[in-house]
């Protein structure tokens, strides 16, 4: 049975996506508040026993010029990726919602392992068209490839041993060199946005305004943290992490100054976020996007992969 998510069953929906292995913060009504320029709808599929089997949610944006709407299912549906029967029922429910909003398109970018070609085939069979086929970098809304590692209930010492030796040394050296990592509130956003602009100029990407990060901290509440690295009282790097239940600790945004990179603030920040994931019993640490051509030294994103790869892990 399909149920539309509303105020009465919202808590039940949120609890489900927090415990389901495929549940991510992008599926939450909290994230929908961050994306306040969009409308949000969600549905749940329940079994005969009343338990939720799967869910799907969409952000909906009206396109005034044409009088139709775009529906976007960020990171796909929350169900077993090989349960196509559940997928189809959720998909059909979204099509009905699409009629209400005069949607001309449903965009989906599921977080599925590269090897699961059956999932891609099923999407195509349902009428989806694969955009940017064969793209290797960051052409899509969400990165096509991400880098992760599994916590596997390891202790800090055990986890450290999975890092490259020079990474372990840099994590330990950072505080000895005077780097201090703090969990900060919105009062530190001016520094974070300033450093982010410096990072964007250096690495060639556009950045978000301060108000966007304020919205994340306000809406995600205890599920988001702003970490800042200080050296001699000066903010030199920062990261914004988002956790979701016991599923994923996500490195969502990062910024680093051109100055004082030799005191290893980025390594200290990663270790702080990784430890938060351990405290929350998270199963996966998500470093975010990388290029699919990441091991090619000539690729402009090679350095991004090399940094993340040093912490161990895998691409998916």
Q: Which sequence spans correspond to the domains of the chain?
A: 2-130, 152-282
Other Cβ atoms within 10 Å of 176 Cβ, number: 9
Range of lowest pLDDT (34-38, 122-126, 286-290, 294-298): 294-298
Q: Which of 5-9, 41-45, 247-251 has the lowest average pLDDT?
A: 247-251
CA atoms within a 13 Å half-sphere pointing along the CA-CB vector of 68:
10
The architecture (CATH level 2) of 2-130 comes to 3-Layer(aba) Sandwich (3.40)
Supply the pLDDT for residue 36.
93
Of the listed ranges 94-108, 117-131, 216-230, 302-316, the least confidently predicted one is: 302-316
**pLDDT exceeds cutoff 70 at 210:** yes
pLDDT for 69 equals 97
Angle at 192 between CA 191 and CA 198, to 5 degrees: 90
Question: pTM score, two decimals?
Answer: 0.89
Among 90, 99, 98, smallest CA distance to 1 is for 90
Average pLDDT (187-203) is 95
Q: Are 107 and 72 a contacting pair, CB within 8 Å? A: yes
If DSSP codes are grouped into helix, strand and coil, which group holds residue 118? helix
pLDDT of residue 135: 54
CATH number assigned to the domain with residue range 152-282, chosen from the 4 options 3.90.1010.10, 3.30.300.180, 3.40.630.30, 1.10.10.10: 3.40.630.30
What local confidence, expressed as pLDDT, does residue 139 receive?
A: 43
Alpha carbon separation from 152 to 115, 274, 286 (Å, rounded): 22, 13, 14
Least Cα distance to 143 among 290, 315, 303, 304 occurs for 290
Is pLDDT of 181 > 80? yes
pLDDT of residue 140: 47
List beta partners, residue 314. Answer: 148
pLDDT at 30: 97
- Residue 137: per-residue pLDDT: 45
C-alpha–C-alpha distance, residues 164 and 310, integer Å: 5
With cut-offs at 50, 70 and 90, classify the pLDDT of residue 307. Answer: confident
pLDDT digits 0-9 by tens, 34-81? 999 999 999 999 999 999 999 999 999 999 888 999 999 999 999 999
Per cent of the chain over pLDDT 70 is: 91
Average pLDDT of every residue of the chain: 91
Beta strands in 160-244, from DSSP E residues, in sequence order: 179-184, 224-231, 234-244
């Amino acid at each position: 049975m399909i149920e539309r998510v509303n105020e009465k069953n919202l808590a039940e929906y949120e609890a489900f996506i927090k415990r389901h292995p495929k549940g991510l913060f992008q599926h939450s009504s909290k994230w929908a508040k961050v994306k306040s320029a969009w409308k949000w709808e969600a549905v749940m599929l329940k079994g005969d026993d009343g338990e939720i089997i799967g869910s799907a949610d969409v952000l909906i944006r009206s396109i005034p010029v044409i009088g139709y709407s775009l529906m976007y299912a960020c990171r796909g549906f929350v169900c077993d990726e090989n349960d196509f029967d559940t997928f189809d029922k959720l998909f059909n429910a979204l099509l009905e919602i699409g009629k209400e909003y005069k949607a001309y398109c449903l965009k989906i970018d599921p977080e599925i392992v590269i090897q699961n070609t059956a999932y891609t085939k099923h999407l195509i069979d349902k009428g989806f068209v694969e955009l940017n086929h064969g793209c290797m970098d960051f052409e899509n809304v969400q990165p096509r490839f991400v880098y992760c590692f599994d916590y596997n209930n390891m202790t800090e010492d055990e986890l450290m041993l999975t890092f490259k030796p020079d990474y372990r040394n840099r994590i330990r050296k950072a505080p000895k060199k005077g780097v201090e990592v703090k969990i900060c509130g919105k009062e530190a956003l001016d520094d974070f946005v300033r450093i982010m602009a410096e990072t964007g100029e250096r690495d060639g990407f556009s950045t978000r305004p301060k108000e966007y990060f304020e919205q994340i901290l306000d809406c995600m509440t205890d599920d988001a943290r702003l970490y800042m690295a200080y050296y001699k009282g000066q903010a030199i790097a920062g990261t914004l992490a988002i956790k979701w239940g016991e599923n994923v600790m996500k490195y969502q945004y990062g910024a680093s100054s051109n100055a004082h990179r030799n005191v290893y603030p980025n390594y200290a920040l990663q270790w702080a976020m990784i430890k938060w994931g351990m405290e929350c019993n998270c199963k996966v640490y998500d470093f975010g996007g990388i290029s699919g051509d990441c091991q090619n030294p000539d690729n402009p994103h090679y350095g991004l992969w090399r940094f993340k790869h040093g912490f161990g892990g895998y691409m998916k």
